[in-house]
Structure 1
């Protein structure tokens, strides 16, 4: 996969606002993966475990983590009209700018642990590779929107696109615009996630999402314990 698809290495130091040392703020954990990979389940299990450790948790998602984000979510996932790939990418970036500025950064400044379902890597994978845009450009737009905020840890739940579709079918839910895309779209998304993770192994932990949920939860706890 080309560097453009991975969306890495295109943002210079002058474009990114330095983050404070982790000791000066909370912990920012993102959970990534294709639709049906179990992100919501693992986010809830992690939230429960961390709360039991006495940590203050903010569990949020993109899009939809703010009132503005809920409106954006309705547009990008449920609009009946056609949305061009570039417009879709910009809508996600707009949601992200609002979400990070008004919810995530204040929580980190208080010393909270933020568990977030999807972040910039999802835009690089879905809009960059899935929609066949330039992944580096997609990443740069979101890094500008968020003033360069990077997660301390990203958990990638990796699942074959056919297995993911079988899970979604079994759930008997109404598919949103992205879930309804064809297998080739979701294959490109998965390949992009794996390439992004391979290029940033310090930030990422990649977990086989076919493992039992309790096994996955323990692997996540083991990794995040090194950061607490």
Structure 2
């Protein structure tokens, strides 16, 4: 039943609550949840963007140091292997003077990293009594590997080219022959002196060296002079 008086509107009630310092139970706006969701998404995008910038800077600083030369892997590519020396081709360029009445014989080595062996002697040479595939010019441990018969060899020289980069760096192109201690095998062949020489094969073959060994017994002065000349003049010629 109406009392004849107008009821106060919401504006009056709000003003009264403010003046009386009373809490006001206002209804939430209908789009409040949509506003909150939009604000959450906007905040999340800002955080992601702030994190991405430092990560990009770190990648720009560290990634080039971690990648290899091809910038695709952290492991550097192994250095290319040096080309293998064709020792038999070098052996074909071996220059060794052979005086009259001297003999020369080639004996295959069949050992990796070495060429065949060129033997020279004041006496006739013959095929060794047994095959010695690993024979080296400086190997005088088994007389059966040497191309001599009898016990009076006069002089026996052996020349061989070897793939030895470390020795090639130290060896000179014109290194002189040096006397060394007489080995038991050389002594068993009536040898009283031994000489050794090691020379570089030249700048065109920087990893190769020429090794020479000489076992010397009783020689005439002329033959001894010829032997020293052979050791002094032996070399690997440059390719033509």
Interval of TM-score (by shorter of Structure 1 and Structure 2) = under 0.3
Under a length normalisation based on structure 1, what TM-score does the superposition of the two structures give? Answer: 0.25
* Richer in helix (by share): 1
Name the structure, 1 or 2, with higher relative contact order (CA <8 Å, separation 6+): 1
Under a length normalisation based on structure 2, what TM-score does the superposition of the two structures give? Answer: 0.24
In terms of Rg, which structure is larger?
2
